[in-house]
A and B are shown apart, each in its own frame.
Chain A
């Protein structure tokens, strides 16, 4: 069997897996109730089954109907993906401990590596401008509660 559309094949598979997972998860863990007294599993179970069915339709089409050029998924842009996601996670860990003044320059410098046109000068410039700007907008302007200084400085 040959896959006629790569993108549809993988999205169909994704829908089936997620649908079955939700249906199975709700059927095993929560009470289904009856139609007259629907329990917490009633709606998610039905939705999960429906999603799995539609996923199967997408899968079936991907295997039978010819598409232009096979619609390849194409290479993943691993570098920006990992750098951006990693930087967000780093931000999440660092902000409560190190505060804005350390975390934001760290985040900006890290995330700038995701671009093909990285320059230290630009990253530093962005860090300074955006950190001061964010303090101005969020802390001073909007009065949001954000740790500004690292906790070890007692701020």
Chain B
């Protein structure tokens, strides 16, 4: 070992000081020659003979050097360099092949790396806090196997007191906060956190202090409400003033004191949410006012709960501990015995899961689509590798003479293999580099596509060590997959046979062609699977689009007003909305204006229980809307009348039902003028049905329209509510939000800047996962088709070229051109047929995995399957036709003579 090391060091020195090495060798030799010459002269030999003698003994100086230098070289390394430069020359000589190879691999590796970097950002990257492996996420579970990750405040407080296996239990919730500045009010992303949040995350503040348990006592810290701000907010709002600690901030009409600044790397415990303000949970009643969630007690499920375990504790212990204490905690914190009994009956229990990567709700929605896309990417990479392997193999056959010559000249099989593998590694490395270079751009595009504008999301897809390791692994795997089999094949076989037969080894050709054909068939079947998957997802998306929402989202803009923190109440607030509506309706391009509390697909549900005449209680979705809502949304009005601004708290309660609700609550009769009753515990409220409208979807596009009841906003139970203006426009609508703000300022000074979203965007975003999957799968399917076409064409073209003389002989013996074309064409037809058959079986089996993503589409949709097969057949035929036509064009005499 020591010997090898010694030699290594000396060789390294020789490599670095190459010129000095050469000079030394020359000097040593020259010295010896001089000494020898002097000796010979001393012995009395004639000078002419002396010259001859030295030349005889030393030979050519260059050969001498070569021998010595060889000793000092890293033989393997320098061989490798030689192989690389040789491979570069070879690849340069066939630029078409090289470009196709690099592009397909760039696509395969790039797509995989991109999706992996998203998976990394969403699922794998640990939170940037010390010892993140000690963190756990808590949830609740009952007879429904789905885990619920939202807890109520009393349940959290019950868990918080359990300190046996945990050092800290903490809770947080995202909250948009209104901060009053010099230029009006601004909406800022914030989090409401419990006292254990900062102690558990163990990240020291940049300035000041973090929030402590003392800040999270009922009524807040007696020294005042504290807020911790992010470095970004410090920069933006305070221009990095060093005296920021102690400054006042008015958040949601409540006065806070800045107590600390957190460094940039601190993002809290939700990896996708980068809050700028942190306030303690004890201040929630103050900032949320009368509608605060703390007061709602065990009815409000709003907190994400996490904990840090003792260093000695394991996840199993933590899970067992919270699970065992579930009932004790229920009895301790819930005042309602009925409620507890109901939960106990359903085996309610707490659970703890690994939480080193924090918790984000987006994971629940996007893990499965992301994994499906990842699988597609894997498929396309495999396809690219198979394709290159078969192309290389075809080239290997074409290069057999060259390889055989090199073998005959004394190259070992190992050296040849090394050279061929170097070639495929070069392709793989270049392809991976190209893929990595485009990956950040693509991942940005995909995450925009995936997450839409729905969430204020910061998915960090940056290329970290894990992503690079993945890319390297993918590249090495691809290179081996691409290069190994062709290299093994090309260097096997008897040397003399290859040398002798040269071009017209038809027998050898038939024998050797089995493996490439199998690989091409595999490629075809893989392509078919991808095309079928894309077809299913795309047709499902089209059906989803066509299914309609029950309203017309085109040209509808929503303007969200945040009024629940404002002093306007009751009738005054209604007046504000009414005047706002009138103002907006005079804006250019505006056709209709109305208001609604809940806009469709906003992930908000308000439901109430209504008993039908037969006594059965129905859960009816509700919404509170202004007059002309149905007209604005283009929801058809079947009978009765619309709401009026006059329908107010002082008049009789009115209600409008959609068709489904009318059928449930007032069966077999004209609903108009009938009375229905809402039951809320012991309290009942009577409504007069004044209209029936068409069904419209509520929660999302995938679920059918629920039975829905609309009440007029003038009869709202809430004193203050933030409504959304729904505005139908005939196109350009961007200045609306400014107009709304200006109008608001005229009516009432100091209202926060309203936010505008277009209904079309909301509808589109509600399908973001479906859309992303469909778009990507179609993209991959098209790529798969192109790659397969290139592969089918390439292998057949090579094979046909090698048969030129054979075909020439056939034609000379009387074969017709159509026969020759048919013969060549049939070769690929067999491959395509076999591939399609196996791909069909595989696709039928694999498409079941897509079932949960499909809307109104069977996983065995015959049209999709037929279309995919037709697409593949078309591509395969086109790819095979060219070589067949070329074969038919061979001139027999020229072909035979060229041997």
Our verdict on whether A and B bind, yes or no, reads no
Chain A residues with CB under 8 Å of chain B are none
